[in-house]
Amino acid sequence: MTTMQIFIYIEPTEEKIDPMVRQIAVKARNMGFSTIRGIAVGNHLKGKEEQLSGFLDELLVVDAPSGSEYSTEIIGNVLTDLLGSAGPSLLFLSFTHQGMELGPVVAYRLAVPLMTACSDFKFSDVKGEVVRLIHAAKVEVTLEVNSERGAVLSVQKGALRDIETEGFGALSNAPPVRSVPWKETYGTAKSQVVGIIGENLGEGEDIGKARILVSVGRGLGDPDNLPVAQELAAQLGGMLSCSRPVVDMGWLPARHQVGLSGKSVSPTVYLALAISGQANHLAGMETSKIIIAVNKDPQAPIFQLAHYGVIDDIHQFMPQMIEALKLSKE
Amino acid sequence: MKVAVCCKAVPLDVGPERVEVTGGQIKTTSRELFLNEVDEYAMESALALKKKYGVETWALTVGSLQSQEALYVALAKGLDQVRRVNGDTDRPEVVAAGLSEALKELKPDLVLTGVQSVDWMGGEVGVFLSEALGMALGFAVVEIVELGDESVQVLKEIGGGRKAEIILKTPAVLCIQSGIQPVQYVSMMRRKKMRGIPIEVAGELRPGSLPASFVGLSAYHPVSVAAPQERTHAEMITGERPELISKVLEIIRKNV
C-alpha cells in the first residue's frame, strides 16, 4: 500500500459531477493508494455528494464566497495551500480550461513536476510513468516522473473512459465532508471575475437536441462547401455541427461548435466529416451512441474513438450520399 | 505601453517516424518550422491593440536559428520589434524560464501567448510566465474588451460555451484562444523579404542551470516515443464509394 496522498480537484458543473473524478479515484485505488480526497471550492457540490459514494475517503469543501468557483486565482491559492500543508501528494485535475490553468500555477508554486494532458499514468510513492500525446495527437510519449516531492497531473478528457466505475465498492457511503475555513490569503489580488456569460444559442437550432448530427471539420476546406454539408444534414433529418477551426475561421457561428469550448452532445448518430479528432473535440461528442467518421487520413485520431470509419474524401462522399438518400426516398 | 507576444515555431505533420528521444529530449527530424497557429492569433491581438491604443509591439521566441521563421511572420504582419532567446528544447518549463528572463528585461505591460502549441499541446508556458513574473493571468482569452493604464478587461472561455468576464491588473499575461481576431494573410514574398532583417538574440537557454523556481518542475524525463497506442479502433467500412455509402446509411437507419 502506498502512503502518498491523492487529491482530486472537482470542478463546478451545471449538471452531474464529471465522471472522470470517479475514474481517477478508481485508478488511484487500483494503484494501491489508500487515501483519496476530493477538493471543491465553494458549495457547488451541495446535494451531489452521493455521486461520489464509494470513491473518496474525504471531501474537502472550502467555505469560499459565492462566485469563487470561477476565480482561478482563488482556486490556485486554495489548492497551493491545501497541497502545501499536506506534504508530498499527487494532485489530479481534468485537462479542461480550469485544469489547464490551475495545473501550472500549483506545480510552479509547489516546485513539483507537472504532467499535462495525461492519457494514462501509473504511480508509486516515489516515481511514476505518464503517457501523453504530442504533435497534434500523432505521437505518444512516455515520461518518467520523480514524484518524491509530489506531482500535479491533468488528465485528458475521455482518457479513462474504459475504467469501470459501476459497482465500485471500496467505500459505500457518501464521503465525509470536511469544511475548510476561508482564509484571507485565498482572496484575489490581481483579478476580479465580474460576470459569467452563458452559452449563446442565438436564434438557431440547438445541436444538443439533435438525434443525428452531421459535423464538419477543417477538412471541409472552404465555406463554399457548407451548403453540401447542410443539405446532407437536412436529408438525414439531422442538424449541422462543427469542430473549433470551422468557427474560428468564421464559417459557422459558435452555437454549432462541439467540444470542450463548445457544446457537449450525445446524439444517436454523430457523422464526423473531415474532423481529425483532437481531444478537445472528442471531449464534446464521445458519449454519442454511434460515431461514424469519414476522413481521408487513415491516421486521423478520430478513428480511435469512432465506432465506424470510412477512409474517403468528403467532397466526393457528401454529394453521393445526398444522391443516395434522395433516391431512397423516391 | 508595451505588448510582448511570445510565439513558437513548430514542425507540422510530424509522425512517430520523425520523432526520437535523445539525451533526455524529444527531438524531431523536421527541418521546416512554422509559426504555431494559435500564436498567430496572439500576434493579431497585439496588432489590434497597436491600432486601438498605439501600443509598442514585440515578438519573442525561444529556439534555434530555424525558429526565427515565427519572428519573420511577426515582422511581416507589422509587429515593431523581435527578439530570439537562443537554444533548443522541447520542455515547456525551459521555454518559460528562457522567456521569463527576456521579459524581465523588456518589462512589458501585457504578455500575449497562444493558449497552447501544436507540438507539446500542454498550455503551460503562458501560465508559468505569469507565475515567474508575478503577473495576473487571463487564460483562453477570446476578447480583449478594454485596456486601461492599470488594468485590462477580457472575456475568457470557461468551457461548455460559457465565458467569464474578468478584470486583471496590469502587467498581465493573456493566453489567447484561436479565433479571437481574423488572421491577416501575409504573402510569401513579404515574409521572404523579412528574412534579410537581422534578429537580435536576447539570451541563451540554460537547461542545465534553470532558475531555482523552475528546477522542481523539471523532475521528469522522456523515456520513449511511439505511434499512439490504439486501445480501440473504428470498424473500418471498405469497398467502392456507392457500397460505402450504402453501408453507412444502413448503420444510421438501424440506430435511429
pLDDT score of A172: 64
First to last CA, chain A: 67
Res. A246 pLDDT band, cuts 50 70 90: very high
pLDDT score of A14: 78
Q: What is the ipTM of this complex?
A: 0.94
The stretch A170-174 carries a mean pLDDT of 67
Q: What is the pLDDT of residues B58-81, one digit of tens each?
A: 999 999 999 999 999 999 999 999
Q: What is the pLDDT of residues A193-208, one digit of tens each?
A: 999 998 665 666 789 9
pLDDT score of A3: 74
CB-CB under 8 Å, B121 with A137: yes
Cβ A241 vs Cβ A284: under 8 Å: no
pLDDT score of A200: 63
Per-residue pLDDT for A278 more than 80?
A: yes
Distances (CA, A) of B183 to A249, B44, B177, B179: 9, 7, 13, 8
Burial class of residue B7 (count of CB atoms within 10 Å of its CB; 0-12, 13-18, 19+): buried
Distances (CA, A) of A164 to A18, A24, A168, B213, B249: 14, 11, 8, 39, 32
Q: Which is it for the CA torsion A37, A89, A12, A159, positive or negative?
A: negative
CB-CB under 8 Å, B124 with A111: no
Res. B206 pLDDT band, cuts 50 70 90: confident
pLDDT score of A158: 84
CA A10 to chain centroid, in Å, comes to: 12
Residues of B in contact with A198 (CB under 8 A): 161-162
Q: Per the omega criterion (within 30 degrees of 0), is the bond before A267 cis?
A: no
Distance between CA atoms of residues A108 and A74, nearest Å: 16
Q: What is the pLDDT of residues A181-192, one digit of tens each?
A: 999 999 988 999
Res. B183 pLDDT band, cuts 50 70 90: very high
Cβ B145 vs Cβ B154: under 8 Å: yes
Distance between CA atoms of residues A268 and A290, nearest Å: 6
Q: At what angle do helices B92-106 and B125-133 cross, to 10 degrees?
A: 40
Q: In the block, which residue shows the cell 524531431?
A: B28
Q: Count CB-CB contacts under 10 A for residue A133.
A: 21
Distance between CA atoms of residues B87 and B92, nearest Å: 13
pLDDT score of A161: 82
Q: Which residue has the higher pLDDT, B45 or A280?
A: B45
CB-CB under 8 Å, B140 with A190: no
Backbone conformation region of residue A111, classed left if phi is above 0, alpha if psi is from -120 to 50, else beta? left
Distance between CA atoms of residues B198 and B243, nearest Å: 58
CA A93 to chain centroid, in Å, comes to: 10
Dihedral Cα A123, A124, A128, A133, nearest 10 deg:
-10
Question: In percent, how much of chain B has pLDDT > 90?
Answer: 86
Distance between CA atoms of residues A109 and A78, nearest Å: 12
Q: What is the DSSP letter of A33?
A: B
Distance between CA atoms of residues A111 and A156, nearest Å: 22
Cβ B57 vs Cβ B6: under 8 Å: no
Please give the backbone phi and psi of residue A280, each rounded to the nearest 5 degrees, phi first: -65, -30
Contact partners, residue B221, CB within 8 Å, separation at least 6: A143, A144, B24
Res. A162 pLDDT band, cuts 50 70 90: confident
Per-residue pLDDT for A257 more than 90?
A: yes
Instruction: Give strand ranges (E) for chain A.
Output: 5-9, 36-41, 58-62, 89-94, 114-123, 127-134, 139-146, 151-155, 177-180, 191-197, 212-216, 239-242, 269-273, 290-294, 308-310
Distance between CA atoms of residues B213 and B129, nearest Å: 11
Which residue does chain A place closest to B255, by CA atoms?
A268
Q: What is the pLDDT of residues A61-114, one digit of tens each?
A: 999 998 899 999 999 999 999 999 999 999 999 999 999 999 999 999 999 999
Q: Which of residues 132-161 of B touch A (CB under 8 A)?
A: 132, 135-140, 153, 155-161
pLDDT score of A171: 57
Cell numbers linked to A288: 454519442
Res. B231 pLDDT band, cuts 50 70 90: low
The stretch B19-27 carries a mean pLDDT of 90
For an interface test with A, the pick among B217, B238, B247, B249 (most A C-beta atoms closer than 10 Å) comes out as B217
Q: How far is A304 from chain B (nearest CA, A)?
A: 4
Q: Count CB-CB contacts under 10 A for residue B32.
A: 10
The answer to whether A306 faces chain B, any CB pair under 8 Å, is yes
Distance between CA atoms of residues B176 and B134, nearest Å: 19
The stretch B129-157 carries a mean pLDDT of 98
Q: How far is B74 from chain A (nearest CA, A)?
A: 20
pLDDT score of A96: 94
The stretch A293-308 carries a mean pLDDT of 92
Burial class of residue B31 (count of CB atoms within 10 Å of its CB; 0-12, 13-18, 19+): exposed
Residues of A in contact with B220 (CB under 8 A): 113, 115, 130, 143-146
CA-closest candidate to residue B112, choices B179, B36, B59: B59
pLDDT score of A170: 56
The stretch B198-203 carries a mean pLDDT of 94
CB-CB under 8 Å, A269 with B137: no
Res. A1 pLDDT band, cuts 50 70 90: low
**Pairing state of beta strands A239-242 and A290-294?**
unpaired
Q: How far is A110 from chain B (nearest CA, A)?
A: 8
CB-CB under 8 Å, A211 with B256: yes
Per-residue pLDDT for B109 more than 70?
A: yes
pLDDT score of B157: 95
Per-residue pLDDT for A24 more than 70?
A: yes
SS3 of chain B: CEEEEEECEECCCCCHHHEEEECCEEEECCCCCEECHHHHHHHHHHHHHHHHHCCEEEEEEEECHHHHHHHHHHHHHCCCEEEEEECCCCCHHHHHHHHHHHHHHHCCCEEEEECCCCCCCCCCHHHHHHHHHCCEEEEEEEEEEEECCCEEEEEEEEECCEEEEEEEECCEEEEECCCCCCCCCCCHHHHHHHCCCCCEEEEECCHHHCCHHHHHHHCEEEEEEECCCCCCCCEECCCCHHHHHHHHHHHHHHHC
The stretch A257-277 carries a mean pLDDT of 94
First to last CA, chain B: 58
Residues of A in contact with B256 (CB under 8 A): 211-212, 237, 268-269
Per-residue pLDDT for B31 more than 60?
A: yes
pLDDT score of A169: 58
